[in-house]
Amino acid sequence: MIVAMQEKATEEQIDIVIDAMVDSGVNVHRTTGATQTILAAVGPTAGLDLGKFELLPGVLYVHRITAPYKLAGRAFRPEGTVVEFANGAKIGGNQIAVIAGPCAIEDREQIFTIAACVKAAGASFMRGGAFKPRSSPYAFQGLGIPGLELMYEAAQANGLMTVSEVMEISQIEAMMPFVDCFQVGARNMQNFNLLRELGQVRKPVLLKRGIAATIEEMLLSSEYILSGGNYDVILCERGIRTYETSTRNTMDIAAIPVVKKLSHLPIVGDPSHGTGRRDMVSPMAKAAVAAGADAILVEIHPNPDKAASDGAQTLRLEQFEKLMGELRVIAPAVGRTL
């Protein structure tokens, strides 16, 4: 952390700032220039509240130099994290993974048809929500554990790994036998108690970016899981809320290279929630791969117009197959395989 003092700051004001910095547990290196004094904090700066120093008399601005997250930072694992699953599939590394499935698990026929399609298309992961965070309490809320049993059976029959959203701590144990990866949804990205609990779990966690979260906030949320000892965290860009109304959310493609630069954690692109529109899912999936995403998450359904949730952004099975073919062309162009 750097504290730049105003040109007119008095010695007394400078001393007060130095004392406050020392009280916060850091060492202070003072540089006295011809017109301005700069105070650099060295030591444990991650937990410092910058605002506290900004308000002190004589301070011009306060700037953070080291990231407030440690375990999620690129420097912690410069080579990048590769999350490995029981069937040998990986997220991170050179090969791009594909996670596909319905927004919500609906019935046996639906989930078995989708599992066969995911397998045939060459993807390794299937998704399906059983606990659905719906904007309206009157909308379909998901089948719960019986739904997960169905998805697990369908996934097993096709050698696929399962990803499903956990909404609260009490669901973790019951979900454990049926999911290979816990998804934390956008609405729960800052449910810190849930994140801490998932830090104790020994299964990968797919952490989605909050609807109004900055990339730094997403990385700080991942830190809650990592600091519990669970290093298998996968981040997900799923669009953020902006003033643009043409799409359901604004898919922040730039977040992908930004995360790659700041963190060692794999990053997934979710063009389904990112756009909310079926006709825009494939273009944005391709953009995400071109931008360096480690995986793509897409919602697919045999009959999206009849889907219990998120039908408008859900690809038909043949659209998904076509997309897979296109991604196989793009991946090698950016030095990856699929």
Retrieve residue 87's tokens. Answer: 């069937």
Shortest Cβ 330–ligand PEP spacing (Å): 23
Residue 315 contacts residue 326 (beta carbons within 8 Å): no
Residue closer to ligand PEP by CB (options 72, 103) is 103
Residue closer to Mn ion by CB (options 222, 275) is 275
Burial class (CB in 10 A: 0-12, 13-18, 19+), 123: buried
Which member of 125, 150, 154, 208 binds ligand PEP (CB under 6 A)?
Answer: 208
The Cα–Cα gap between 197 and 168 comes to: 10
Question: Does position 307 bind ligand PEP by CB under 6 A?
Answer: no
Which member of 5, 39, 238, 282 binds ligand PEP (CB under 6 A)?
Answer: 238
Which member of 96, 103, 218, 287 binds ligand PEP (CB under 6 A)?
Answer: 103
Shortest Cβ 30–Mn ion spacing (Å): 53
Which member of 58, 142, 185, 276 binds ligand PEP (CB under 6 A)?
Answer: 185
Shortest Cβ 247–ligand PEP spacing (Å): 14
Question: Does position 298 bind ligand PEP by CB under 6 A?
Answer: no
Nearest to ligand PEP by Cβ — which residue?
Answer: 185
Identify residue 264 by its one-letter amino acid code.
Answer: H
Which member of 273, 278, 301, 336 binds ligand PEP (CB under 6 A)?
Answer: 273
Question: Does position 129 bind ligand PEP by CB under 6 A?
Answer: yes
Residue whose tokens read 């609405």: 187
SS (H, E, C) 77-143: CCCCCCEECCCCCEECCCECEEEEECCECCCHHHHHHHHHHHHHCCCCEEECECCCCCCCCCCCCCC
3-state DSSP call for residue 53?
Answer: helix
Please give the residue ranges that form the binding site for Mn ion (CB under 5 A): 103, 310
The Cα–Cα gap between 82 and 265 comes to: 8
Residue closer to ligand PEP by CB (options 103, 213) is 103
Identify residue 315 by its one-letter amino acid code.
Answer: L
Residue closer to ligand PEP by CB (options 226, 235) is 235
Which one, of 117, 165, 137, 127, lies nearest residue 324 by Cα?
Answer: 117
Distances 36 to 1, 11, 30, 55 between C-alpha atoms, Å: 17, 11, 11, 18
Shortest Cβ 137–ligand PEP spacing (Å): 15
Question: Does position 133 bind ligand PEP by CB under 6 A?
Answer: yes
Residue 141 contacts residue 168 (beta carbons within 8 Å): no
Shortest Cβ 36–Mn ion spacing (Å): 52
> Near ligand PEP by CB under 6 A, which window of 1-9, 88-96, 182-190, 320-328?
182-190
Applying CB under 6 A, the residues found at the interface with ligand PEP are 103, 129, 133, 185-187, 208, 238, 273
